Amino acid sequence: MVSDPDNDNNLEGPMVFIIIGKAYEVKDGPGIDLHIMLRAPDDDTAVREALNALSEEGFVEAELDQIGVLQEEPVEEPHASAYQGALEGEVAIIRFDE
């Protein structure tokens, strides 16, 4: 029996990416852990838009460690609100300041 191959670009719902990384407000300064959630057609676009949003927020450098597509809507905050923002076209940046 032949089945259709899995392809992440054929998800039933919107493709909302989550990117996990660290960003810096000053060069060689302390990093801020963050999650970025946004809607994009592919991972290259997601990374480019995330970096642009970080730059607009005043970050001078970023290390993006992981990227993935959310399979279901998060229920816990702050990710639930960020997901809704991503669905509306925003780039949601969740900061984990220590």
Q: What is the pLDDT of residue 98?
A: 65
What is the residue-wise DSSP string for 51-87?
Answer: HHHHHHTT--EEEEEEEEE-SS---STTHHHHHHHHH
* Domains, the chain, with CATH or none: 13-96 (3.10.510)
Q: What is the pLDDT of residue 5?
A: 37
Q: What is the pLDDT of residue 13?
A: 66
Helices and strands (H, E) in the chain, number of each type: 2, 4
pLDDT of the chain, 98 residues: tens digit per residue: 333 334 445 556 679 999 999 999 998 889 999 999 999 999 999 999 999 999 999 999 999 999 999 999 999 999 999 999 999 999 999 999 86
